[in-house]
Amino acid sequence: MIRYTEPLEADELAFLERRESKDRSQYYKVFQILMLFSFVFPFIGAWYRATDNAPNAFSPARFFLSAAILLFISLVAVYVPYRAHLRKIQRDIKDGTKTIEVAHIMRKLQMNAKKTCHFYIDSKIKLSIEVSYDDFARLDEGDEVSIEYTTHSRLYLGYF
């Protein structure tokens, strides 16, 4: 398989920056919600223990310990996807490169219901790509098509 890298074009870099900004704000919103739950659930638990007439139901130590444990779980729940996804997009923006891979068309498929055309290719990154009708008619099985994707996050950018 032939692979090489090239610099990102301005519109591709702008796409990655918009995607990174949107994803970062979503991670922040999710963490805010989880942080809120980390303090609300121990409070609800204290009221539940109070209705059962448990001694020392509103214990500050129990409340803060429960909140700390839930906050830690929330941090891990947000950090793992950040590390696996958003950090790779940030590395793509920093490096400013894309990977171009030459793939072979394995199968052609036309979807009449959606009025789209697809090529199934032998790439490990992308199994199928949607193509224009002109390219669908022009290229046959076994022909080469080049696909572009970001180097680290492997987001599909297009074909030629």
Tokens matching residue 48: 């539940």
**3-class state of residue 123 by DSSP:** coil
Is the distance from CB of 66 to CB of 118 less than 8 angstroms?
no
- Residue 17 buriedness (CB in 10 A; 0-12 / 13-18 / 19+): middle
What is the model's pLDDT at position 73? 92
Tokens matching residue 50: 């109070």
**Tokens 């638990």 belong to residue:** 45
pTM value is 0.71
Quickly count helices (H) and strands (E) in the chain: 4, 6
Q: Return the closest-CA partner of residue 32 out of 76, 84, 74, 81.
A: 74
What is the model's pLDDT at position 48? 79
Report mean pLDDT in 10-residue bins for the chain, 160 residues.
86 93 91 90 82 77 89 91 90 92 91 88 90 89 91 90
What is the model's pLDDT at position 1? 72
Domain residue spans of the chain: 9-95, 97-159
What is the model's pLDDT at position 58? 77
For residue 108, give the H/E element and its range.
Answer: strand 97-111
